[in-house]
Amino acid sequence: MKFILGRLFKTTSTACVCVFALQSVASAETPSFDFDSSKLSGLEILVDGHPGIDRVFEDGHFFDRINPCRNWAQLRPQLDRLIEQKLPELNPKLPKGVSVHHQRSQLSNNCTAFFILSGRTIVLKISVPRNVLFFKTTTPTVFGSYGDPSFSLDYDLSVAVTVDIPSTTAQGLKIGPVNVSMTNVHRDSQNLVGDLIQFADTVWQFLGGSDFLAPLTQSRSFDFDGFKSSISQINDRLASLRGRNLPVLKFDYDGSHRKLTLRLTNPATANPDTCSMGYVWREAVANDHVCVTPRERDAARRQNAEASRHKQANSDRCLPGYVWREATPADHVCVTPAERQQARVQNSEARTHREASRDPVLH
């Protein structure tokens, strides 16, 4: 977190009053993710490269059941104490005679969490808005402790945990480090002296920087046992299949059902209909095994669902402005000319999206 502060010193015979004007506040550094990433709900594990496809695990609400917010009420007291214990550590960085005391953390009970898929990474994102931190700072004046300025700090807390999907079955899903960040930070004074004496830049930098956030990321409180045990469950399933000579781990995402599919396969023995990693059967018509992206498959499904709107009544002919898609020779779904051209491009590129260099399977 970067702060730009202006400082004005006013010296009297009995006190030194420091006034700090906050010009801008930026959020703490957080990991950036692709905005096109998709939310996750379900999970299935398939074994490929054998006669048929062996589905060894399927739960349409697997990720929905992992709800770290369920135990947030139990975590809050521990984290509140951790924050309160950590705050006085900035005292040696403050001017002589100035220290922090009477700190009180009040983390919010308002928690939301969800999973997204970004590339080969599963990301757990947790948001806890509207947290408050209260504390006082001593001042080297003749007014005594009653003159100590009181402050409050309002902020949102964001937590992100990543899980990498490996490309081989020799490894399990790997949970990355916890990243905690403070955003939307606002400060306010709670008494008259607080209005006159603002935070020193060292205070601001400490609260928004790694010094203050580091103990949160290292705290076992952020382990979220339900999350870790669920990932362990996936790894146990993968480990049980390692003896089947399936060295490659691939994945697919079904946007319509928000489902992640992990596929274990052996390219040397894979069915020639097997798509390369990141591609799926288009299924524009029955037995259409042209390999396309999940988004292109979803587009074909949408075109099928809307086909009747684009045809003349009691006829196989399309309405003006629409043409047969011709994903296969018998495909008479009516689409726009641009969509038909896209299907032709998919057919021409199908060979490059398959495990084996064979022509696409069209029936």
Q: Among 21, 5, 6, which residue's Cα sits nearest to residue 196? A: 21
Query: What is the value of pTM for the model shown?
Result: 0.63
Hey, is 123 helix, strand or coil?
strand
**The amino acid at 230:** S
Given this model, what pLDDT does residue 335 score?
Answer: 95
- Total Cβ atoms within 10 A of residue 234: 20
Q: Among 116, 159, 107, 115, which residue's Cα sits nearest to residue 134? A: 107
For the stretch 209-257, pLDDT in tens is 666 666 666 665 566 778 888 999 999 989 888 878 888 888 888 888 8
Cβ–Cβ under 8 Å, residues 262 and 305: no
Given this model, what pLDDT does residue 208 score?
Answer: 59
Given this model, what pLDDT does residue 11 score?
Answer: 28
Cα–Cα distance, 163 to 124 (Å, whole number): 8
Residues 6+ apart with CB under 8 A from 148: 101, 136, 137, 138, 139, 193
Cβ–Cβ under 8 Å, residues 304 and 333: yes
Cα–Cα distance, 340 to 174 (Å, whole number): 42
Sorted by where each begins, the domain ranges of the chain are 3-35+68-222, 286-354
Residue 77, phi then psi, degrees to nearest 5: -60, -40
In this prediction, the residues of the chain whose per-residue pLDDT falls under 50 are 1-36, 51-52, 142-143, 194-201, 357-363
Given this model, what pLDDT does residue 231 score?
Answer: 92
Given this model, what pLDDT does residue 305 score?
Answer: 93
Q: What percent of the chain has pLDDT over 90?
A: 30
Cβ–Cβ under 8 Å, residues 347 and 327: yes
Hey, is 163 helix, strand or coil?
strand
Q: Among 168, 136, 138, 139, which residue's Cα sits nearest to residue 152? A: 136
